[in-house]
Amino acid sequence: MEKAEFGKYFTNIFQDGFIMLSIGIGHDLGLFKVMCEAKEPISSEEVAKKLDLKERYTREWLSTMVAASIIKQDRDSNLYTVPEQYKDIIMTNMGFAPALFAMGMRSKAVKEAFKKDGPYGISYHDEHAIEFIHWINGYRALMCDETVDKKIIIPLLDQQGVSRLKSGIKVLDLGCGAGNHVTAMAQKFPKSTFIGLDYSEAGIKQGNKHKQEKGLTNVTFTQGDAHKLPDEWAESFDYVFVYDVLHDLPNTHKALGQIYKV
């Protein structure tokens, strides 16, 4: 890139970062949901009323989204709309944006971890874990059924895995996070039994909440360490599901050994 082009590229990153923060706010407050569900152009007053929010702040958020070319505003009526063709893209992808809130809360810990005399890493089980779990739960909720279908069901079709899941096997979701995938699987395969294990207490709490809300009896959650699975679990699972976890572990080989054990 030429200097001028790089200058533009670099400064745009800052602008996009702020837009992403606003997308995260819109996701968390339900603003995008209201906007995407609206059948007609809608005013800032109506949006604010539906969510019991302040109109002034709602209008500011809407203006930010208009400036970011995500929402359109009619110049005469001042009403807002989300173009029809944007809606499913927004609804399936916006959940990633609040990651910035969770990451921001950890920036101090990350800087400490860089230092030679700093800690080895950052725990998933500290006072900020709840923010991370809140984010991953909201993000996964938007796409978890699709993930279960495309990344679990379809790949397993050829190996008769699905018929085994249907007839009843024992499954471990290692590093289950907020329990989105394991509860979706438990719902789809009521004859199988599932255990969701995670290091994070906040994740286990959220998993149990999903279990209760879905009225599931074939899933249990337990707090634990992927590097030290209970010896009594040896050879007791038919299928171990690990999604977006291995790269987070301090010792992947050790965890793989534990997966082999169970």
Ligand X SMILES: C[S@@+](CC[C@H](N)C(=O)[O-])C[C@H]1O[C@@H](n2cnc3c(N)ncnc32)[C@H](O)[C@@H]1O
Instruction: Count Cβ atoms below 10 Å from residue 131 Cβ, excluding itself.
Output: 18
Nearer to ligand X, 26 or 203 (CB): 203
Q: Which residues contact 238 (CB under 8 A, 6 or more apart)?
A: 164, 169, 170, 171
In whole angstroms, what is the distance from residue 228 CA to residue 259 CA? 10
Smallest gap, in angstroms, from Cβ of residue 86 to ligand X? Answer: 26
Contact flag: residue 172 with ligand X (CB under 6 A): no
Contact flag: residue 98 with ligand X (CB under 6 A): no
Smallest gap, in angstroms, from Cβ of residue 102 to ligand X? Answer: 11
User: Residues 71, 65: contact at Cβ < 8 Å?
Assistant: yes
Segment interacting with ligand X, rule: CB under 6 A, options 15-23, 96-104, 164-172, 224-232: 224-232
In whole angstroms, what is the distance from residue 148 CA to residue 182 CA? 9
Among 248, 256, 259, 261, binds ligand X (CB under 6 A): 248
Segment interacting with ligand X, rule: CB under 6 A, options 67-75, 183-191, 214-222, 241-249: 241-249
Among 141, 225, 256, 261, binds ligand X (CB under 6 A): 225
In whole angstroms, what is the distance from residue 252 CA to residue 160 CA? 28
Contact flag: residue 180 with ligand X (CB under 6 A): yes
Contact flag: residue 194 with ligand X (CB under 6 A): no
Nearer to ligand X, 237 or 243 (CB): 243
Query: Where are any strands of DSSP class E within the chain?
Result: 72-73, 80-81, 170-174, 193-198, 219-223, 239-241
Classify residue 247 by burial, with Cβ atoms within 10 Å: 0-12, 13-18, 19+: exposed
Residue ranges that bind ligand X, judged by CB under 6 A: 124, 136, 140, 175-177, 180-181, 198-200, 203, 225-227, 243-245, 248-249
